[in-house]
Amino acid sequence: MNQPQKNNSQTTDIRQKHINAIRQRLKQKREEYCKTRSDKNILGPGAIHNYLKENYHVYTSQTTIQNFFSNSDGIQKIDISAVLAMCDWWGCDPGEILAFPDQSSFSTSNSYKQTPHQQLLLDTSYNGKFHCYFFKISGTDSSFNTPYPYSLKKREDLIKGTITFNIDPDNGSKAYFEYKQLVHQFQKPDEIKVKRCTCFPMESTLNHNIYLDFVDQDGRFYYIFFNHQVFINGPLYFRIGGMITESSEHDNGPFFQKIVLFHERPDDSQDDLIRGLLNTNPYNYLLDERELERLAATDTDIKKFWENYKDLLAPRKREIYFFNETLITKESGYLSEYDAKKTLIKLRHHSYSQNQIIIGRDEDAHRIARRMQNPKDIEHDDYQ
């Protein structure tokens, strides 16, 4: 009965030793860096806070920085974004600073070390601030307890943020991710929390996909990736990417969703189109007739679509309409190709399909896989 507690204690000890090792290495790097300054003075929490804020968009508090460089061995949390920023500022290799306590030290370098299969993103057409959109991060669907088919409705909460690229071929490239999240408080007013993180944007040398590996101030990771398109006549204007991140609930695994980036911030009236762009199944539609009628009463694009295609869709109607996009796009004479496809994108969000895919949340798959590997052991599941 005591074994789990022992394992938890061992895990805590390993984590604490790792954090202490990271802090000790950066203390040494700070001293080495300060010796190169004209005044030779050690940088204090205030100076570090101001420099990280102005040059790296990292807003770690002075108190957190002061605790990081204190002599206490009991600091249990560190800001990874601040650590990476200080590594870059003081010209040391993040791999050396973040290594486990028992790993040997590597020689320092003024540039981020690259592996043969990846390199820093150096395409200046990606330079600047881009407006990104994705759905609220949660472990369960917002309509989890509603009856079918409405249980298949997806969430409405659209998160708007920014991803800023600082592409510098000479000194190394960086990326900054920021968004606001509404946090519900028990018996208190809701609080708006700003999430900020930074990373080195990497590019695959094999297929030139771009990878952004962010960790925010609360330790949540965001792994964003999209293909590298070269823009000859101007800067990047639009990208669709994938994002893997952590669920809010402990019993759920990581989950996947789309993320879109715009060079110019779209008007708020375009949110319905953006929700459609974020759908993970863009070509098959499962739509309730009452939902279509409700949408047609408030959206002129959907009203025109509904009036023109109602007869075409009628044979596909059961409890809900089920049709493929090609049914609409192959027809001519009703709407222009642009108007038809724009409305289809809007309808994606109202279609009964997923906009977030939870990875690993499949109890039947676990039970079946267990019997696949132990076909004689049938006492531990309830399949007959």
Domain residue limits at 59: 3-97
What region, left, alpha or beta, does residue 185 occupy, with left being phi > 0 and alpha being psi -120 to 50 degrees? Answer: beta
pLDDT above 90 coverage of the chain, percent: 19
For residues 64 and 131, membership in a common domain is answered with no
Question: In terms of DSSP H, where are the helices of 40-97?
Answer: 45-56, 62-68, 80-89, 94-97
| Nearest partner of 321 among 281, 349, 284, 289, judged by Cα | 289
Please indicate, yes or no, if residue 11 is contained in any of the structural domains: yes
Both tokens of 43, joined, read: 């940088």
State the Cα–Cα distance between residues 110 and 370, nearest whole angstrom. 50
Residue 109, pLDDT > 70, answer no
Q: Which amino acid is at 32?
A: E
Q: Contact 29/92 with Cβ under 8 angstroms?
A: yes
For residues 273 and 133, membership in a common domain is answered with yes
- DSSP letter at 317? B
Please indicate, yes or no, if residue 371 is contained in any of the structural domains: no
Please name the residues in contact with 75: beta carbons below 8 A apart, sequence gap of 6 or more: 19, 20, 23, 67, 68
E strand segments, 246-328: 255-262, 284-287, 321-324
Alpha-carbon Rg for the chain in angstroms = 25
For residues 272 and 160, membership in a common domain is answered with yes
Both tokens of 75, joined, read: 């600091």
Please indicate, yes or no, if residue 43 is contained in any of the structural domains: yes
Last residue of a domain, one of 234, 261, 277: 277
| 352-364 confidence digits (pLDDT tens) | 776 777 666 667 7
SS3 321: strand
For residues 271 and 339, membership in a common domain is answered with no
State the Cα–Cα distance between residues 261 and 132, nearest whole angstrom. 4
The CA-to-CA distance between both ends of the chain, in Å, stands at: 33
Measured over the CA atoms of residue 85, residue 90, residue 96 and residue 97, the dihedral's sign is: negative
pLDDT band at 221 (very low <50, low <70, confident <90, very high): confident
Both tokens of 202, joined, read: 């990497």
State the Cα–Cα distance between residues 107 and 119, nearest whole angstrom. 19
What region, left, alpha or beta, does residue 40 occupy, with left being phi > 0 and alpha being psi -120 to 50 degrees? Answer: left
The structural domain count of the chain equals 3
| 155-176 confidence digits (pLDDT tens) | 567 899 999 999 887 777 889 9
Residue 365, pLDDT > 50, answer yes
Least-confidence region, from 53-62, 96-105, 156-165, 207-216: 96-105
For residues 92 and 129, membership in a common domain is answered with no
| 229-243 confidence digits (pLDDT tens) | 877 666 678 889 999
Last residue of a domain, one of 248, 277, 306: 277
| 15-56 confidence digits (pLDDT tens) | 788 888 899 999 998 988 888 877 778 899 999 999 998 888
Both tokens of 134, joined, read: 């994705």
Q: Contact 154/287 with Cβ under 8 angstroms?
A: no
For residues 206 and 261, membership in a common domain is answered with yes
For residues 79 and 149, membership in a common domain is answered with no
The pLDDT of residue 124 is 86
CA distances from 296 to 172, 269, 306 (A): 51, 16, 7
For residues 291 and 344, membership in a common domain is answered with yes
State the Cα–Cα distance between residues 178 and 234, nearest whole angstrom. 24
| 272-330 confidence digits (pLDDT tens) | 889 888 888 777 888 888 888 889 999 999 999 989 988 888 887 777 778 888 888 87
For residues 11 and 92, membership in a common domain is answered with yes
